[in-house]
Structure 1
Amino acid sequence: MSEPTNGSAQGSTPGQDASAPGGGTPQDDAGVGRRSQRHQGSSHRHPWLRRSLFGVAALLVVALVLGIAAYVKLNGNISRLDISSALGDRPEPAATTDAVTNLAPVNIMVMGSDSREGTNLGKGQTEYGLEGARSDTNLVVHLSADRKSAIVVSIPRDSMTMAPRDCKNPKDNVENGVMRQWNQNFTLGGPACTIRTFEGLTGIFVDHFVVIDFRGFQKMVDALGGVTVCTPDPINDEDSHLVLPAGKSKVNGKQALGYVRVRKTVGDGSDLGRIDRQQAFLSSVIQEVTKSSLLLRPDKLFRFLDAATGSMTTDKGLDIGEMKDIAQSVQAIGTDQIRFVKLPTTVYEPDPNRVQWLPSAESIWKAIREDDALPGTKKPSTTTTASPTTTAPALTVAPSEISVRVTNDSGIAGLAKQAAGDLGIQGFKVETYLTGTGEKTTGVLVRYGAGQKEAARTVAAVFPGAKIKSDSTLGSTIEVSMGLDSPDAVEIPNREGTEPLPKPSVTATSNPTDTATIAARTADQDICS
């Protein structure tokens, strides 16, 4: 027979600690009883507390499961197309990074397709394109590195430009190509041919592309509950079955599609007039999303995203996670800093029904390449509060550990010397300052070599709005280029020394008459204007 334990030998009560000092006394039994009664009474007094805790836990589990299910559903909606091998020689990406957001600019080519093969373009994909589809609308969306502004350029579908003779031949490019109507690029080679032509003409690197078909457009408008449009004259178009009175009307998805596509019975009947209506429509969509509770209504937001992703074809890198990151990074952009631009064109003489780009279009492409403001506009103030997702990380390198070389690329005498002085006062080791030999630039660009990014961020913080860029030819010395409209220096948090910065004596302001102003429509503009 096995030997009894101490507890059983002492006749301990279940739940009593027999090993405790003085175990088994009547006082202990009474204490246990009192504690048990108190516990039982507490449970009866606050049953709602336990139930509410269980309820909260259950809601969290349900929300998590639904969130994962929604992510899988939306991500699975998107058709993806790998066109990387069909893009040929590409321009160098503008790998400048904003010192505050630590982000690079993003260029997205948005293509509206007139495919009527259902909502999923992927079902009609060829190797590099989309079978049975034509490009109805082309937008180039540029998000600035500081995520305070956006430029949206509409490219007329009837534009005549140089294009690769055969987009499937890697040796064919814009330089040795043929003259072709813009939307034929999509018909012949899908997104790959369109992007290859655009990059060859502009030198702008396209980071992502999105193709949306007709039915998806309709569903997105319906998911928003309709969109308000404005027309100066009544519309009665038989082709699109669209009938609208003059003035403002709230349209559903089918009506909205007719509104953005109609052209023969409205205005001058040109594609350029249609672009004006499309830009006003996009402004209305942005205003609707901004003032509505879309982002606060998960059900409404999901319907919208489900409609959008269900009719979308993108590149391999633009998944739901990347879209979310981009969306979060642009939350600080005000509607007054979203500018819609119609590409400046003139009549194409061999065919009056077609147009060609004016030389002034290059100023738009230059602004996008250099992540700069459009001619005639200014970048948003650097004092604008950034969104929580783009708060600058702390500066980790002391100024005394950083060697700097400053160049003056503004054409305004004394700017490099002034910048060198501002850096030296704060503890930076200034090696030299000199006049640049290249063409005039705008803003401040800080270049850095391998392993020097954090040092470059510290230097860039002295000049609000400065951009940083990796340069493999540099060693440990940081190069600072001071261009036109460079900001005045400020004191940085980890500066060394106490001498205050002197008042600036040199201002490198660009002359507004140097370049023509590019007309742009802002997203907050009255849709009837």
Structure 2
Amino acid sequence: MPDEQQPRTGSSPSGAGVARRRRRRTLHIVAWTASGVVLLGATGAGYLYHRLNANIHSVDIDGALGTHRPARLDNGSMDILVLGSDSRSGANRAYGHDSGTARSDTAMIVHLAKGHKTASVVSIPRDTLVNRPACTGAKGAVEPAGQQVMFNTAYEVGGPACAVKTVEQLTGLRMDHYIEVDFTGFKNLVNDLGGVPLTTTKAIHDDKSHLNLTAGTHTLNGDQALGLVRTRHGVADGSDLGRIQLQQAFIKALIDRIGGLGLFSSPTKLFSVADTATKAVTTDTGLGSVNKLTGLAESVQHLHSGDVHMVTLPVRYDPANPNRVEPIQSQADIVWAALRADKPIPADATKGSVADHVDAGKVVGGKATAPAAPKPSGSASSKPSGPTSP
């Protein structure tokens, strides 16, 4: 789950030129929230600042993992692991059965290049088979390493620290920060934004994710947005790879939505969105305060949406289980090497990946088409559908 604009504190945004710049800025969900907090603080509403600061929940990942980790790049670039949690506990019970454990439903590595003027985002399919390192579980016991296990089990076994440890072993990259967004927080944030406009080129119907959209332009409310980023069965081949494409498309729509809202003209609305956003996220302690989030916000305020390159880890179907995927190691190595060198990901790094053969991305954006005629009864996709969980 889960990734910005904002004027600096003390600025006085006005005029068409400033408005154009705002629309062009890429907004990271946590970064723009932090900038909003700074603006509120500048008005003298200190109690609001402290309230928002108290909303932020953080975990000490550095303390949990110690020093046996990849070295930091130390050139000003930054790598952030962003997870969407599929916990069904608490308010999230409405989205499925609570098995007593939580998993990472969405995983993205966000690499901010030196100067933070460009970014690369790599989505990791949750069903990717990886070698998971030994991790400390919730009760303090060490869970043994696992060979060829699904990526999202790392979070299930050892929470955020194990997810970060697994990603670092997989990539050779040091994760500088961690951000997690849960179902309910995501839904509430979209509602607070007044919904997110998005065009579907075909109808989407998925009872498992409670999503029913006709072809056309919609302003998705929180439930619909959550359904879109969770749906598998209603688009393309029904795999998790298709879901990732929808998630990437929605992130772009969310960026556009936030950029066009003019939140800074309404302190009341700004606080409402900031309050919701800070409740929605869990961060590492390195980002676990308003001041620390503000530093990230200021560092990316000039990042434009066109400067963000999004890809999916190059994978192929596991020959032993077509409901799982495994990295194409030679190409995955190119992806990780590019990020370690703080370079753009080469275009051919994902060529041949089954993730690039899924057409779910064509279902959102562009011009809507008339509904297709119903398929004959009994027809089915010949491609793997992935795990049966929504």
Cα contact 1:260–1:277 (8 A) shared by 2: yes
Specify the alignment match of 1:116 in structure 2.
88
Q: Is 1:65 the counterpart of 2:44 in the alignment?
A: yes
* Alpha carbons of structure 1 residues 166 and 64: separation in structure 2 relative to 1, 3 Å: closer
Superposed CA offset, 1:389-442 (max 9, x none): xxxxxxxxxxxxxxxxxxxxxxxxxxxxxxxxxxxxxxxxxxxxxxxxxxxxxx
Q: How does 1:382-421 map to 2 (within 5 A)?
A: none
Match of residue 251 from structure 1: 220
Task: Report Cα offsets for 1:457-506 as digits up to 9, x if no partner.
Answer: xxxxxxxxxxxxxxxxxxxxxxxxxxxxxxxxxxxxxxxxxxxxxxxxxx
Map 1:6-155 → 2, pairs under 5 A: 64-66=43-45, 68-87=46-65, 89-96=68-75, 104-118=76-90, 132-155=101-124
Q: 1:528 aligns with which of 357, 361, 365?
A: 365
Out of 329, 338, 346, the position equivalent to 2:299 is 329
Alpha-carbon distance between aligned partners in 2 of 1:63 and 1:204, rounded to the nearest angstrom: 37
**In the aligned structure 1, how far is the partner of 2:363 from the partner of 2:103?**
31
1:331/1:345 Cα in 2 relative to 1: closer, same or farther (>3 Å)?
A: same
Q: 1:206 aligns with which of 162, 165, 175?
A: 175
Assess, with a 3 A threshold, how the Cα gap between structure 1 residues 354 and 73 changes in structure 2: closer, same or farther.
Answer: same
2:331 matched to 1:360?
Answer: yes
Against the structure 1 CA distance between its residues 366 and 341, is the aligned structure 2 distance closer, same or farther, given a 3 Å change threshold? Answer: same
In the alignment, the residues of structure 1 paired with residue 65 and residue 293 of structure 2 have an alpha-carbon distance, to the nearest angstrom, of 23
Q: Supply the distance in 2 between the matched residues of 1:76 and 1:352 (Cα, whole angstroms).
A: 45
Aligned partner of 2:290: which letter?
I
Secondary structure of the equivalent of 2:185?
helix
CA 1:239 to 1:171, structure 2 compared with 1: closer, same or farther past 3 Å?
A: closer
Equivalent residues in 2 for 1:162-311, closer than 5 Å: 162-167=131-136, 178-311=147-280
1-side partners of 2:41 and 2:236: how far apart?
Answer: 53
Match of 1:372 among 329, 339, 343: 343
Query: What residue in structure 1 maps to residue 312 of structure 2?
Result: 342
Deviations 1:213-269 (A, max 9, x none): 100000110111101223232122222322110132111001110111011132210
Q: Is the 8 A contact 1:165 1:178 kept in 2?
A: no
Relative to 1, partners in 2 of residues 1:211 and 1:254: Cα closer, same or farther, differing over 3 Å? same
Residues in 1 aligned to 2:134 and 2:181: alpha-carbon distance in whole angstroms: 26
Q: CA RMSD in A?
A: 2.9
CA distance 1:267–1:177, shift in 2 (3 Å) = closer
Is the Cα–Cα contact under 8 Å of residues 86 and 170 in structure 1 kept in the other structure?
A: no
Shift of 1:311: 2.3
Q: Which runs of 5+ in 2 are unaligned?
A: 1-38, 93-99, 357-361, 367-390
Give the TM-score of the pair, scaled to structure 2: 0.73
Relative to 1, partners in 2 of residues 1:357 and 1:293: Cα closer, same or farther, differing over 3 Å? Answer: same
Question: Are the equivalent residues in 1 in contact too, given 2:78–2:111 (CA < 8 A)?
Answer: yes
Structure 1-normalised TM-score? Answer: 0.54
For this pair of structures, how many residues does the alignment match?
A: 309
Q: Identity rate of aligned residues, in percent?
A: 42
Change (3 A) 1:289 1:112: same
Question: 1:371 Cα shift?
Answer: 1.3
Q: Cα distance, 1:279 vs. partner? A: 0.3
Residues 517 and 105 of structure 1: is their aligned pair in 2 closer, same or farther, counting only changes over 3 Å?
A: same
Q: What is the alpha-carbon distance in structure 2 between the residues aligned to residue 236 and residue 517 of structure 1?
A: 29
Aligned amino acid, residue 326 of structure 1 = L
Q: Which runs of 5+ in 1 are unaligned?
A: 1-59, 97-103, 121-130, 377-514
Name the SS for the 2:268 alignment partner.
Answer: helix
SS in 2 for 1:187: helix
Residue aligned with 2:173, SS: coil
SS of equivalent residue, structure 2 residue 197: strand
